[in-house]
A and B are shown apart, each in its own frame.
Chain A
Amino acid sequence: MRLPNNILGIAFIALTLLLGAGGAYAAEGTNGIGPNPAKAEKGEQCVEPVDDMRRYHMNYLKHQRDETLREGIRGKKYSLNECIDCHAAKSPDVAGGNIRTIKPFCAECHQFAAVKIDCFECHTGIASPIKKGNKPPMPSKHGKTDQEKDALVFGMLENYLKSKSDVGGVAE
């Protein structure tokens, strides 16, 4: 299959600009640009192993939601308020970065996966300030910077182009 010329052109320019960084990420074996949810502000670990949480958090939440509201079971670990307590983070997008909200965490992935949740139309996404004596907040972003993300995109593009015989050598 042949890519349209204008795309190849843009890719070529972009690659020449960002080759170094992109190459480095590709070499590390990163196989995708993921979302970049804010780092938890509290707690050493999540309520379940992180892999499990990434896949199944919605099931845990819905289960606990019904148990709490309909049966009055409280104090179990998948409380939405508890997620907020640990995961809310400051972000320049929300209230000038003055308050901790859950947006930089939940929305980050959901935007990427085209998921829309309505939870925070009712539930407050704002965390109460971390009390004195608690661990000082970690930086609210972790993982990749925007620059690094761009670099990743181009790294992938580079690999893709390399794999196409008809454009072989473009990236060299």
Chain B
Amino acid sequence: MNSNNLPPITEEKIDIERRRLLASGGAIAIASGIMLYGGGAGAREKGQPATSAQRWGMLIDTTADKSIWDTVVTACKREQGWGGGNNPATDPQWVRKVSIKNKSTGAEATLPVMCQHCANPPCVDVCPTGASMQRADGIVLVDKHICIGCRYCMMACPYSARSFVHEPVHNQKPHMPRGMGTVESCTMCVHRVDNNQQPACVEALEAKGSKAIIFGDLNDPDSEISRAVSAHVTRRIREDLGVEPGVHYKGI
């Protein structure tokens, strides 16, 4: 019964393909595409669905002091209610600190890695039930109501960004239901974004005076994130895969 009511995933994919073509056609094409949407970014009325007028993304500044990333992990745990398990190998982990080192030059960097909210998410392609899904505004989610816990998506994810919940969960946050037997990952704090708030990690950084992560609408040429990604060279992890992540990194 559920699958009949689900939004057509394929049409959205076509839309994203089209957008990708536009993007490769150059900045002018993107700009004219966006004009069609009029208002551009900003508040969505309550009761209105997410649309592809927006493409939420993040820009992570890897040149920030690496101790700041603990703030991100802690804020995520507190907001979403994960962490605190006793099995580090299998406990859910929505965001983790990764340190990289260039062996030939010795240069090091530390960066947070979480769901990259790909425009062409492999996790969505492989899901047998339609639980692994992409919202119209680019946020990639697990619809836990129809997740059967097969974990194909975890294997397909190039970023190892998803976790399986192996043990019963208690004391969940009201806005983030979590339960054993399903897969989960960073939701870009969809419950906050829908409320015109920033993701919890971004807010926690700002509270410490850090702008190490900028969150915003990549489709809005005037947004802070769009201006930043057009002003600095940024990279996305494994760009070669063509999955078009929504998370950009500066300084790697």
Report A's interface with B, CB cutoff 8 A.
Answer: 62-63, 65-67, 69-76, 81, 84, 118, 121-124, 126, 128
CB distance from A79 to the nearest CB of B (A): 10
Which bracket fits the contact residues of B?
Answer: 20 to 34
- The interface residues of chain B lying within 8 Å CB-to-CB of A65 are 145
Contact A69 B194 (CB under 8 A): no
Question: What are 12 A-B pairs at a CB distance below 8 A?
Answer: A66-B5, A69-B145, A70-B135, A72-B44, A73-B48, A75-B46, A81-B174, A81-B175, A84-B174, A121-B180, A122-B182, A124-B173
CB < 8 Å A-B pair total: 66
Contact A71 B50 (CB under 8 A): yes
Which residues, 120 to 143 on B, are CB-close (under 8 Å) to A?
133, 135-137, 139, 141, 143
A contact patch SS:
helix
Please give 8 more A-B residue pairs, beta carbons under 8 A apart, in addition to A72-B50, A122-B177, A124-B171. A66-B143, A70-B143, A71-B7, A71-B135, A71-B136, A75-B47, A122-B172, A123-B172
Does B195 interact with chain A (Cβ within 8 Å)? yes
Does B27 interact with chain A (Cβ within 8 Å)? no
Does B40 interact with chain A (Cβ within 8 Å)? no
- The interface residues of chain B lying within 8 Å CB-to-CB of A66 are 2, 5-6, 143, 145
- The interface residues of chain B lying within 8 Å CB-to-CB of A72 are 44, 49-50, 135-137, 139, 190, 194
Does B178 interact with chain A (Cβ within 8 Å)? yes
CA distance A121 to B172 in the complex (A): 9
Instruction: Report which of A70, A74, A122 forms a contact with B6, defined as CB distance below 8 A.
Output: A70
CA distance A56 to B173 in the complex (A): 27
- The interface residues of chain B lying within 8 Å CB-to-CB of A74 are 46-47, 194-195
- The interface residues of chain A lying within 8 Å CB-to-CB of B35 are none
CA distance A80 to B190 in the complex (A): 17
CA distance A75 to B144 in the complex (A): 20
Report B's interface with A, CB cutoff 8 A.
Answer: 2, 5-7, 44, 46-50, 133, 135-137, 139, 141, 143-145, 168-169, 171-175, 177-180, 182, 190, 194-195
Nearest A-chain residue to B143, judged by Cβ:
A69
Nearest A-chain residue to B134, judged by Cβ:
A70
CA distance A81 to B136 in the complex (A): 24
Nearest B-chain residue to A119, judged by Cβ:
B177
- The interface residues of chain A lying within 8 Å CB-to-CB of B174 are 81, 84, 123-124, 128
CB distance from A121 to the nearest CB of B (A): 4
CB distance from A22 to the nearest CB of B (A): 43
CA distance A51 to B47 in the complex (A): 26
CA distance A65 to B6 in the complex (A): 11
Contact A122 B135 (CB under 8 A): no
CA distance A126 to B141 in the complex (A): 25
Q: Knowing A72-B49, A73-B47 are in contact, say whether A121-B7 is a contact too (CB < 8 A).
A: no
Chain B CB count within 10 A is highest, among A69, A73, A84, for A69
- The interface residues of chain A lying within 8 Å CB-to-CB of B169 are 121-122
- The interface residues of chain A lying within 8 Å CB-to-CB of B44 are 72
CA distance A72 to B196 in the complex (A): 12
- The interface residues of chain A lying within 8 Å CB-to-CB of B175 are 81
Instruction: Report which of B2, B136, B143, B195 forms a contact with A62, defined as CB distance below 8 A.
Output: B2
